[in-house]
Amino acid sequence: MKSRIEGIIHDYSRTKATCFLEPVEAIQDNNRMTELSQEEKAEEVRILIGLTGMVRDLTADLEYAQSVASKLDGLYARARFSEAFSCVMPEICQEDLVDLKGARNPILVAQALDSRDRDEKEDLPVPVDIVLDENRNVLIISGPNRGGKTVTLKTLGLMSLMAQAGIHIPAEEGSRLCVFDHIMADIGDDQDIQAGLSTFSAHAAHLKYMIEHTNKKSLVIIDEPGMGTDPDEGVALTMAVLDFLSLQGAFVAVSTHLNRLKTYGLLNKQAGNVSVEFDTEKNCPTFKLKYGVPGISHALEVAKDMGVPLSIVDRAKGYLDQDEVRLNRLIEKLNRLVAEANCEKIEAKEAREKYYSSARKMHDRLAELEAEKRAMTEAKRIEAEDAIEKAREDLRQTINLLKTKKESAQAYVTERCSEVSRQLMDYFEAEKSEKHTTDPKEIETGCPVYHKKLKQRGFVLSVGPAAGRAKVLLGNLRIIAEIGDLELLKEVPETGLDGVEKDVSWELQGDPAKEINVIGYRVDDALPLIDKTIDRALVKGELSLRIIHGFGTGTLKDAIRSHLKESPFVRRVCSADPRFGGDAITVVELS
């Protein structure tokens, strides 16, 4: 068969049953096609060389364009991230400070957003507040496993790195961060069999690096230091490292389960304990941080929740060190007391704000009434002028009539004069009755009265030593009122004086809205009196107040001024003029 077809054999199949043959008739065409293919490749090379030459001339412009495009792409990516993660721009401060408000771990936020996109349960991370400053530059975070200690450490590190990279952070407005020279972290287990590093030796190597590179502008993060070796020696080494880092001025955040390290946070003034909250009723962590108290690991509760047999957990309780058990109970009691104190503090703050709001509304209402009074007085003045002018016009007409018709107009003139006189007398009698003021001697304790400005009925609780002033109960509100603003009532209001203290002492010797003397008072007794005096001053419309506290040890003065700075109605606090008492008197400017 091969002899029947002339051509060139190029190859055979593996079985030799088939050969690959190029017929003679196709040789010339195939050769031509090969030549054309080579020419095509040569032309492509020539074109590419030409284009490369053109690009070479634009190298600088293209590199600049690439750089700009890269920067724009980075900025666009940052903007998209900030929008998707509800980020804010933190304030970069000059002082050494970390103040993160409502910080959320960006990795957990990304997982939550991904779950939402897949129509799965959206498990958003719990926001945390992280605070470090020069007075407390070491945070010791403790609490149960799975409580969020390591996540808090990573959040702190990520927020700092993101801010220094120009990336907005997932936190609340008002967050502040300083710039660090070094941000170092030891998180996880870096043991390396090939390098001959155990768990503890790897941690020790990291500690060595941190010690060598730490300065005042450093952030050091350590997750469970002292682990992987003897607990006593590990804690001792950790406390020594913390002492060194703290003296260097670095900001340090560590997590731990070791009670001795928690005690270090209580005894060292530069360190502070932060606990991860644990809900004992639901037997699970809440992921919230509580400052000022250490946390308990709740290892047995977590193990039980993870499915460890109850018999094993009960047996484990028998092996617990009783001193450690007592310490944990004390910590639990401390946490409860702190929680109750915080709740009471919040309730007191809300009540105080509500009280100040009511006082402010009362002050504003009195200002409105004063404005209405001035407007009404002006209207009455204009009305009186109009009445007098009308009377004058009537008299002029009467006089003209007299000139023209003396005798016939006599009766008319007499009648008109009597009428005008009667109108004027009626008008001014009405004015006199409106301006009637109560005689101060008529106001006595227990008298039913009507407050003309506030338009409310009430009772007189006591008549003050200062002339023309009385303490009055209007509903549930006790106020100091001018007697001129009170009107005696014949009928007794429905609200009686049952249960109301009628014997009220007057602490102030001068005008109670302008000055108060608290010399000899304890702080707890002086502050409520000062608050009452501020309320009186606000109601009276006073712009300033003098508080006489004397020199003494300065404790009363400092407490008063610190308390005043928290009041929303105090604009400025300063000492009096040296000629008029100096530091023995605090002058308060009201807003």
User: What average pLDDT score do residues 321-350 get?
Assistant: 75
Backbone torsions φ then ψ of 585, nearest 5 degrees: -130, 135
- Encode pLDDT of 69-107 as tens digits: 999 999 999 999 999 999 999 999 999 999 999 999 999
Residue 283 has pLDDT above 70, yes or no: no
What is the rounded CA–CA span in Å between residue 298 and residue 330?
14
Q: Judge whether 233 and 198 are in contact, CB under 8 Å.
A: no
| 255, 258, 321, 385 from 325: Cα distances, Å | 20, 13, 6, 90
Kind of pairing between the strands at 515-517 and 544-548: parallel
Please identify which residue in the block is written with the tokens 């009220």: 504
What is the rounded CA–CA span in Å between residue 243 and residue 264?
10
Residue 492 has pLDDT above 70, yes or no: no
What is the rounded CA–CA span in Å between residue 224 and residue 254?
7
pLDDT value, residue 219: 96
DSSP 554: S
pLDDT value, residue 249: 92
pLDDT value, residue 584: 85
With residue 33 as reference, give the H or E element that holds it.
helix 24-57
| Structure token digits, residue 471 | 């303490």
- Encode pLDDT of 224-256 as tens digits: 888 878 888 989 999 999 999 999 999 999 999
What is the rounded CA–CA span in Å between residue 495 and residue 474?
9
| Structure token digits, residue 546 | 């003098």
Residue 414 has pLDDT above 60, yes or no: no
- Encode pLDDT of 172-227 as tens digits: 999 999 999 999 999 876 655 444 456 778 888 899 999 999 999 999 999 988 88
What is the rounded CA–CA span in Å between residue 304 and residue 462?
66
Q: Any idea which fold 88-309 has? A: Rossmann fold (3.40.50)
Residue 129 confidence class, pLDDT cut points 50, 70, 90? very high
> Whose CA is closest to 104, among 171, 172, 173?
171
Q: Who wins on pLDDT, 319 or 450?
A: 450
User: Which of 131-145, 167-181, 487-501 is predicted with the least confidence, judged by mean pLDDT?
Assistant: 487-501
3-state secondary structure 479-508: EEEEHHHEEECCCCCCCCCCCCCCCCCCCC
Task: Determine the CATH number of domain 507-591.
Answer: 3.30.1370.110
Q: Judge whether 277 and 290 are in contact, CB under 8 Å.
A: yes
User: Which of 143-157, 222-236, 469-483, 526-540 is predicted with the least confidence, judged by mean pLDDT?
Assistant: 469-483
Mark out the alpha helices in 306-321 (DSSP H runs): 310-318
DSSP 452: T
Q: Who wins on pLDDT, 281 or 179?
A: 179
What is the rounded CA–CA span in Å between residue 547 and residue 590?
13
Choose which CATH entry (2.30.29, 2.30.30, 2.60.40, 3.40.50) describes domain 437-505.
2.30.30
What is the pTM for the complete model shown? Answer: 0.51
Residue 17 confidence class, pLDDT cut points 50, 70, 90? confident
pLDDT value, residue 491: 59
Burial class, 538, CB count within 10 angstroms (exposed 0-12 / middle 13-18 / buried 19+): buried
| Structure token digits, residue 260 | 């001795």
Residue 433 has pLDDT above 50, yes or no: no
pLDDT value, residue 157: 95
